[in-house]
């Protein structure tokens, strides 16, 4: 079982940043040139680029469309984008940049009935991001914690035909404390679709822990701060170094 490694780029104010646990007031800037950073992660062996428009997530609309367009045009690896995609028009706008797939979060929780026609229309290009703290779904850029269990939302999305779910343990995100393997196993068991792990992936041991779950639908891992802080390399996570 081999996991796809997805280096992450979070966009805020036109720069590449990382937040601790999604807090907008706890920001570290790593690069002022997102395109250059995207090319760097591609050269380092990234299989797929994960991009989050943080300003979009907080404002409820895409903010970095032009930057995303330039990143897509510069790369040969596929790109997925999330953050602030609340309307059909926003989804189409981002897909028109040439990204491989878009990620819906808040909308999947708040308006699940509106997803059915989108799933039918876009198929595998539509991904649902489920962000949770202590197993409970968080929305609106992680500023609101709901009463819904993440596994329940995953089951609902799977029944609707959503083919890929990105599951983020927000308490672990940016903390370099390792993955929540138990929660990830439960997420994989809740849906027959593909699952990508996010939050806390910071070492080769984390990749090994995810692989050891032996969940065939666990297909990838998103890595952010650990790469920027040089705690690990993409090559090492892929078993190449």
Q: pTM for this structure? A: 0.93
Q: Which tens digits make up the pLDDT trace of 217-226?
A: 999 999 998 9
In which residue are the tokens 């799977």 written? Answer: 158
Active site residue 10: yes
Nearest-angstrom CA–CA distance, 39 and 34:
9
Active site residue 25: no
- Residue 171 is predicted with a pLDDT of 79
Nearest-angstrom CA–CA distance, 55 and 68:
13
Phi, psi of 218 (to 5 degrees): -85, 105
Nearest-angstrom CA–CA distance, 131 and 237:
23
Q: Domain 4-237 is of which CATH architecture?
A: Alpha-Beta Barrel (3.20)
Query: Which residues does 23 contact at the CB level (< 8 Å), separation at least 6?
Result: none
User: Where along the chain do its domains lie?
Assistant: 4-237
Query: Which residues does 118 contact at the CB level (< 8 Å), separation at least 6?
Result: 88, 91, 104, 126
Q: Which tens digits make up the pLDDT trace of 45-90?
A: 999 999 999 999 889 899 999 999 999 999 999 999 999 898 999 9
Which one from 53, 55, 90, 131 is the annotated catalytic residue? 131
3-state secondary structure of 215: coil
Instruction: Check if the beta carbon of residue 161 is closer than 8 Å to that of residue 119.
Output: yes
Which one from 10, 90, 169, 206 is the annotated catalytic residue? 10
């Amino acid at each position: 079982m081999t996991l796809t490694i997805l280096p992450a780029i979070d966009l805020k104010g036109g720069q590449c940043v990382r937040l601790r646990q999604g807090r907008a007031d706890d920001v570290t800037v790593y690069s002022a040139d997102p395109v250059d950073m995207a090319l760097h992660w591609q050269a380092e062996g990234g299989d797929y680029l994960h991009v989050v428009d943080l300003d979009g997530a907080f404002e409820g609309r895409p903010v970095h469309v032009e930057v995303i367009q330039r990143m897509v045009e510069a790369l040969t690896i596929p790109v997925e984008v999330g953050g602030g995609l609340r309307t059909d028009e926003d989804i189409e706008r981002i897909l028109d940049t040439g990204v491989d797939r878009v990620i819906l979060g808040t909308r999947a929780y708040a308006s699940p009935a509106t997803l059915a026609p989108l799933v039918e229309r876009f198929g595998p290009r539509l991904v649902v991001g489920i962000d949770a703290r202590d197993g409970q779904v968080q929305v609106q850029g992680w500023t609101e914690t709901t009463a819904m269990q993440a596994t329940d939302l995953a089951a609902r999305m799977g029944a609707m035909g959503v083919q890929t779910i990105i599951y983020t343990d927000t308490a672990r995100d940016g903390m370099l404390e390792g993955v929540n393997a138990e929660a990830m196993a439960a997420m994989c068991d809740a849906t027959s679709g593909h699952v990508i792990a996010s939050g806390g992936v910071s070492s080769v041991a984390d990749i090994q822990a995810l692989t050891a779950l032996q969940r065939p639908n666990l297909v990838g891992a998103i890595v952010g701060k650990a790469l920027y802080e040089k705690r690990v390399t993409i090559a090492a996570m892929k078993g190449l170094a």
